[in-house]
A and B are shown apart, each in its own frame.
Chain A
Amino acid sequence: MKPTVTWDVAAASHLLSRTEFGGTPKRSEQLAARNLHDVVAALLDEAKAAVPPPKPGWVKEPWVNTERVYPETTPMERMENHRKAGERQTRERNELRCWWLDHMIRTPAPLREVMTLFWHGHFTTEAKRMFVAQPLYTQNAATRTHALGNFRDLLEAVTLDAAMIMYLNMEDSDAKKPNENFARELLELFTVGIGNYSERDIKEIARALTGWTLDAPPGTAKRPTVADASRTFCRDGLVPTFVKEKHDAGEKTVLGKTGKFGVKEVLGIVAAHPATARFVSTKLITYFGASDPRNELRDRMAAKFGQTKGDIAATLAVLLTSPEFFAKESRGTLIKSPVHLLVGACRLLNLDVTATPSLAQVTAAMGQELFNPPNVKGWPGGRDWISSGSLAVRYHLPEALFDGKEPAGFEPIATDRNFALPADEKARKELIARIQNFDKKRREERKKDGFKVTFDPAKALDGAVPEKAEALVAALTTKLFVVAPRPDTTAVLTEVVKDLPAAERVKLACRLILTTPEYQLA
């Protein structure tokens, strides 16, 4: 017999925990009163219609490189420009993290952000390897625009965007020596996945993608920089630009198809490849935490992806209405990502919060720094979120949210060495002092706003704070857990609450709840 979905309050709560960073009991009841397919269609429609957040004030169109080095630039000027630009990048990156976190906490259509976060882990860029912050924003905006749109459009938008062009070295790839970095990741991580291509395909795609670079907007007057300057010091702009002379216009064979391909043809071929439909479906299944041991859900999603030529929302609808997604094995078994953990707590407890760099650092310390995934593969998720190290950080979350205090050790032990230091001891010591001073200033800059979070017990419980300890604990665990609390959890929380004056009860119960094994699950 074909399994069916029992659509009730618990199922609605499950759906909201995966698609909206968690939902209140009241909202779950409202959704449960409607039909599952209508509910999912409405969630997707609301997410698609959501208005994107206004762009940060520092985003400039066109972007201007303030670090260009001209023949007459003195070494002093060059250093000063580089220093100022570095400080600005640090500030902009911090603001960018806060900007997104703030939007995730406040948005009325969280599914759009949940999907933007999904694509952020798929089409990655590591902030630590980018010398300018603006592309991090444009890539984020591109993934948000197409988050629930068409996969082929999304793929092109992120490929021909400054972030990807810089990050995976397309910028200087020319016919003489094509750079294979993007071509490899395009196949391995973005589309067809391992096992569906050869080393030869990588080389051929690298050839097809030659000729793309970043430049000032067309028609801008150019002032020549010094010869041989590195990209940081000679880049004129961030507009993806095709330079015909550097393109390899010859014939290529890509995944069995042959022609004089350029970037658009290649993206068309890989996006339409059946392995891409399966690869993207599998990633969505993992991200949303459905159990699909026989790949049946994957195959139904991949079929929909194929029929609709890559309609992401339609593919996701198959997942969110599937018996697999609502099966027992899928319930309460997804380990929350750090962003999910933090954003969910802020939203469900109705905290009065403004995202600051210190707040953004909380997710970073737990292993998910926005805009800075560990590598090009993004965050693996699942049990990889949890180790003794990251769990120890999770135990400090209440200090950040309820005491407004940053615990020690939220950053790595020390900074990285990015260049060789001189052998001369005096020069070396001076340089180390400069690096440490820079690092100290960077930390101080990040911490200067502290935390802006206020907790209100009445708001946390949506206005109704039960008087009896048992009832209070039940109300909080019902709201904050998707799994049933273990007997010990209820017992400990109840004991604690009983002995406290009413004014302190809710807050203390919440801080302990945040450290329970149950709360880590969605």
Chain B
Amino acid sequence: MLPMIDRRRFLSVGALTATVPGFLAKTGSLLADDKSLANKERVLVVVQLAGGNDGLNTLIPFRDDAYYKARPKIGIARTKSLKIADDFALHPEVGDLRKLYDAGELAVVPNVGYPNPNRSHFRATEIWETATPEKDVLTGWVGRYFDAECRGVPSPMLGLQLGEKPAMTFAHPKGRAVTLTNPSLFKWDDATGQAMERLNRVATTDNPQLDFLQRTGNDTLSLSRKIQDALKDGKSGAEYAPFNFSQSLKVVAQMIAAEVPTRVYYVSLGGFDTHTTQTGRHAGLLQELSQGIGSFVADLKALGHLDRTLVMSFSEFGRRVSENEQQGTDHGTAGVMFLAGGKVKAGVHGSRPDLSDLDEGDLKFKTDFRSVYSAVLKDWFAADASKVLGAEFKHLPILA
């Protein structure tokens, strides 16, 4: 912020304050004044479990002796796991997810993957985010959805990610998404803001990087007001655990309740790369996941926005079936996805993994993850899924 004396001088410099560009003034007041743009449409919250979540210890095939044989040290005991279906039980630390399941608000998809699985964190993450395993593409599946279906929506933040590294899910040449670590960063005093607005006014040059910086600068400055407006009440309908993932979901809930023009939110929970002594760490992560989503659903229900909200979790891969020598698990293939919200068809949508038919120690997937995306696009957003995904995928009845 500028020191007092500078601020006064700034305000006396007419040229600095008088010429806030017209379109900036418009976007700046978009949220505060123009309720016609308030978002009453459905929203999706993508939850990334980064590092490769161990699906077999999340959704446990507790009747399968092969599971306990492959995991003598880290397997989850039958007696401790939370049974949810004939063949499946949940990890003991996901009690809140179990409650959602019982309340008809949680769908579970086991054994999700894709042909020729990749075991590199980066490539596998790209595959899930681009929904294009066959080749390298530079657009994310939600980025393509925005481009195909949301052209008319006047919002620079159709996608909003709380995190550090922009997720490829939103990637598109006509990017409509924003990534931020901490919303309180978007505060500066008016005089500084106005000077910066003028310094960032777009004047196209022959340097594409300079133009990119001007455009992003512009977006940042117009966003700052919107975000502050959405969060100023700080209303919350539930208690959240005081941890990063839970608190990020709390912010997302506030934004949804403030009806900001965002369609897809993206939040990450990292640390799932459990190569060594995974039991305690994995339990902590699953507890955070479960309590975070539990609070989020309760919050939105209390605020009356659960019916327009869908949560979907994914992870770049599951882990190898057999535990390793260090009481951990190495990179594997198929994993488990969760969908939560008011309009899901509760249940486990798929059969239990066949541990007697493995591909070099790894699970063979049974449901293509693009079938899940397809259901979200078609049944949640009423979008043309095959256009966004580039092909038709088997329809999964996971949404009401």
Contact = CB atoms under 8 A, between A and B. Distances in A.
A374 B121 contact: no
A518 B247 contact: no
B9 A500 contact: yes
Interface string B323-348: 01110101100000000000000000
A132 interface: no
Interface in B129-167: 162, 164-166
A333 B182 contact: no
Contact of A512 (B165, B199, B223, B241): B199
B104 interface: no
A37 to B, nearest CB: 28
Interface in A201-252: 230-231
Contact of A521 (B179, B210, B248): B210
A487 B285 CA distance: 52
B395 interface: no
Interface in B204-224: 205, 207-210, 212-214, 216-217, 219-220, 223-224
Contact of B200 (A386, A393, A504, A517): A517
A199 to B, nearest CB: 7
A518 B121 contact: no
Given A389-B181, A483-B207, 5 more contacts: A389-B180, A408-B187, A414-B243, A419-B281, A500-B6
B207 A332 contact: yes
Nearest to A500: B9
A111 to B, nearest CB: 23
Nearest to B215: A517
Nearest to A203: B360
B184 interface: yes
Interface in A417-452: 417-421, 423, 432, 435-436
A97 B271 CA distance: 23
B213 A515 contact: no
A198 to B, nearest CB: 12
A164 to B, nearest CB: 14
B288 A417 contact: yes
B185 A488 contact: no
A294 interface: no
B120 A365 contact: no
Contacts of B213: 335, 386, 391, 517, 520-521
Contacts of A80: none
A188 B123 CA distance: 10
A333 B10 CA distance: 32
Interface stretch (B26-34, B56-64, B272-280): B272-280
Interface stretch (B11-19, B350-358, B370-378): B11-19
Contact of A377 (B15, B122, B203, B208): B122
A367 interface: yes
Given A376-B121, A418-B284, A520-B213, A488 B13 contact: no
A412 interface: yes
B366 interface: no
A179 B166 CA distance: 30
B214 A517 contact: yes
Contact of A403 (B3, B216, B280, B331): B3
A181 B15 contact: no
A492 B247 contact: no
A332 B330 CA distance: 43
Nearest to A393: B185
A471 to B, nearest CB: 20
B308 to A, nearest CB: 24
B179 A396 contact: no
Contact of B203 (A177, A488, A500): A488
Contacts of A391: 213, 216-217, 220
25 contacts: A179-B326, A181-B275, A181-B330, A184-B119, A184-B120, A376-B121, A380-B165, A389-B182, A392-B224, A395-B192, A396-B185, A408-B184, A413-B251, A414-B243, A414-B247, A416-B245, A416-B270, A417-B244, A418-B281, A419-B281, A420-B287, A483-B210, A486-B210, A492-B198, A504-B5
Interface stretch (A59-67, A137-145, A168-176): A168-176
A384 B166 contact: yes
A179 B275 contact: yes
Contacts of B284: 417-421
Nearest to A380: B165
Contact of B210 (A172, A416, A495, A518): A518
B327 to A, nearest CB: 9
Interface residues of B, number: 84
Contacts of B212: 383, 386
Contacts of B210: 332, 483, 486, 517-518, 521
Given A388-B178, A420-B93, A518-B210, A504 B6 contact: yes
Q: Which 10 A-B pairs have the closest CB atoms?
A: A389-B180, A177-B325, A409-B184, A517-B213, A409-B182, A420-B283, A409-B185, A388-B220, A419-B284, A417-B288
Contacts of A384: 165-166
Contact of A387 (B13, B180, B203, B207): B180
A421 B186 CA distance: 33
B16 to A, nearest CB: 7
B201 interface: yes
B66 interface: no
A161 interface: no
B223 A388 contact: yes
B24 interface: no
A464 interface: no
B178 A387 contact: yes
B304 interface: no
A516 B109 CA distance: 48
A508 interface: yes
B243 A415 contact: yes
A169 to B, nearest CB: 5
B390 interface: no
Interface string A329-352: 000111100000000000000000
B212 to A, nearest CB: 6
Contacts of A403: 1, 3
Nearest to A412: B244
Contacts of A520: 213
Most buried by A among B15, B165, B247, B285: B165
Contacts of B10: 496
Contacts of A495: 13, 15-16
Interface string B378-400: 00000000000000000000000
B242 interface: yes
Interface string A129-141: 0000000000000
